[in-house]
Amino acid sequence: MARSGWVKPESPERLSDHVSLGVLTRVFPPAVVDRVIAGAGAGQLRNRLLPSRLMVYYVMAMALFAAGSYEEVMRSLLAGLDWITGRFGGWQMPT
């Protein structure tokens, strides 16, 4: 039963989607992710559209949101990271 005065949001996006993905960057700070990448010998040699750090967060997000499509998980991840950092607003999804 809905609460009195509750209004359904117009957008299907939920704040909890962004917060839960943003929490990845809080629980696993970029410095920790970079150390793991370096330890695995999987560092990148060139600047790419899908950098190693982003891909690590993407794999963790896919595990959290297994019911979503790959594209939807990437969109949610980038929206969450943009919400936290403000860096991914103009980024284009690779196809």
Report the C-alpha gap between 22 and 79 in whole angstroms: 9
Q: 37 pLDDT band (50/70/90 cuts)?
A: very high
In this structure, are residues 20 and 64 in contact, taking their beta carbons and an 8 Å threshold? yes
What's the token pair of residue 19?
């917060």
Identity at 71, one-letter amino acid code:
E
Mind listing the pLDDT tens digit for each residue in 38-90?
999 988 888 777 888 888 988 998 888 888 888 888 887 777 666 555 566 56
What's the token pair of residue 73?
């998980």
Q: The tokens 């963790």 sit on which residue?
A: 60
Report the C-alpha gap between 70 and 81 in whole angstroms: 16
